[in-house]
Structure 1
Amino acid sequence: MFGLGFLGLAIYVYTIYDVVSSKFAGNNDKLVWVFIVIFLPLIGTILWFLMGRKTASR
């Protein structure tokens, strides 16, 4: 059970890192995504990988 919790935490931390290191067209887009991921951890992570990475440019 500990392994699943650690895996979930690792994915969550990676998601926050991915959002912060991404470049966005608008100034507030990054801030909005960070808030979404922090306040809605599971849903925010899923939304980021399904929708957010497409809107952010690398």
Structure 2
Amino acid sequence: MQIETIWIVLAAVLLLVELWAINRVVKSTGKVDNKGVWIVVIVFVPLIGLILWAFAGPKHVEHDPHSPQARQ
């Protein structure tokens, strides 16, 4: 595998993880201001932002009452 291909794959994986983290931030309970700050940090400082969010970010996520997990 060429070096360029490895970097492209790593960038794609990082992008997918960022999108997942942003989705979790948006669905989390908390102030809108805090959500905005976390989204900005995750987008503009990708790797460090994700690590910080994993340790200090919002932990509670609102669950959709119509989701399959809520019915169990």
RMSD across aligned positions (CA): 1.6
Report Cα offsets for 1:11-54 as digits up to 9, x if no partner: 11111111111111x33111111111111111111111111034
Instruction: Work out the number of aligned pairs and report it.
Output: 55
Match of 1:19 in 2: 25
Percent of pairs with identical residues: 35
Flag the structure with more relative contact order, 1 or 2, with Cα contacts below 8 A and sequence separation at least 6: 1
- Give the structure-1-normalised TM-score: 0.73
Long gaps (5+) in structure 2? 1-5, 62-72
Q: Which of 1 and 2 has greater Rg?
A: 2
Long gaps (5+) in structure 1? none
Match of 1:28 in 2: 33
The structure carrying a bigger helix percent of its residues is 1
Letter aligned with residue 17 of structure 2: I
Moved over 4 A (4+): none
